[in-house]
């Protein structure tokens, strides 16, 4: 690549566009733990109890709820921050995507759902993506079968 483009070697890559990069002999680990810390502090969730999952398996949004309306600005700010953060956190992508659908008629239950995601992020600050240098060209995906139930509960009314 240096034959085609003008390049300079500034040392090992540690940060790139807000991503933290750790290089190992067998691969690369990419995370956003600094951003995660800022996110948790920004929305005042640092000292709250940690949760084990980003969304409760028994949770269901009720569009016609009589619960109090909430601040649209706060909700959209949280959703925007989480959408950016989900680039390196596939474990929250589904939950953030579900919450992002509900931005027109917000209720208290919606803000509680996104705050739960932030509490989950607070308990998993150092999670990220690991890319291996192995020459294996197969893509493997793993999932928790219980999340199928969450999909069914959220989409059915």
> Which of 1-15, 86-100, 135-149 shows the lowest mean pLDDT across its residues?
135-149
* pLDDT exceeds cutoff 60 at 153: no
Question: Shortest CA distance to 99 belongs to which of 76, 127, 122?
Answer: 76
- One-character DSSP codes across 89-143: -HHHHHHHHHHHT--SS-BHHHHHHHHHHHHHHHHTTT-EEEEE-----------
Q: Is the pLDDT of residue 157 over 50?
A: no
Residue 125 CA, distance from chain mean position: 10
pLDDT in tens, 11-49: 777 777 888 888 888 888 888 899 999 999 998 888 888
Q: In what order do the strands lie in the sheet with 15-16?
A: 15-16, 19-24, 27-31, 128-132
Task: Please determine, for residue 100, whether its predicted confidence score (pLDDT) is greater than 90.
Answer: no
Higher local confidence (pLDDT), 132 or 136: 132
Answer whether 46's CB lies under 8 Å from 118's CB: no
Q: Report whether 57 contacts 149 (CB < 8 A).
A: yes
What pLDDT does residue 112 have?
A: 86
Q: Is residue 61 within 8 Å of residue 116, measured between CB atoms?
A: no
pTM: 0.73
Do 100 and 113 meet the contact criterion of CB atoms below 8 Å apart? no
Higher pLDDT, 9 or 156: 9
């Amino acid at each position: 690549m240096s034959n085609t483009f003008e390049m300079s070697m500034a040392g090992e890559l540690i940060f790139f566009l807000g991503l933290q990069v750790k290089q190992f002999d067998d691969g690369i680990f990419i995370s956003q733990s600094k951003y995660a810390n800022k996110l948790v502090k920004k929305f005042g969730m640092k000292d709250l109890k940690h949760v084990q999952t980003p969304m409760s398996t028994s949770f269901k949004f009720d569009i016609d709820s009589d619960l109090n309306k909430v601040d649209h600005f706060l909700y959209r700010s949280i959703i925007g921050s989480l959408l950016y953060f989900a680039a390196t956190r596939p474990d929250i992508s589904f939950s953030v995507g579900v919450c992002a659908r509900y931005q027109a008629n917000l209720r208290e239950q919606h803000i509680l759902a996104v705050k739960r995601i932030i509490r989950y992020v607070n308990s998993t600050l150092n999670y990220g993506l690991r890319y291996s240098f192995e020459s294996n060209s197969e893509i493997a995906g793993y999932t928790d079968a219980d999340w199928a139930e969450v999909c069914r509960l959220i989409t059915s009314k």
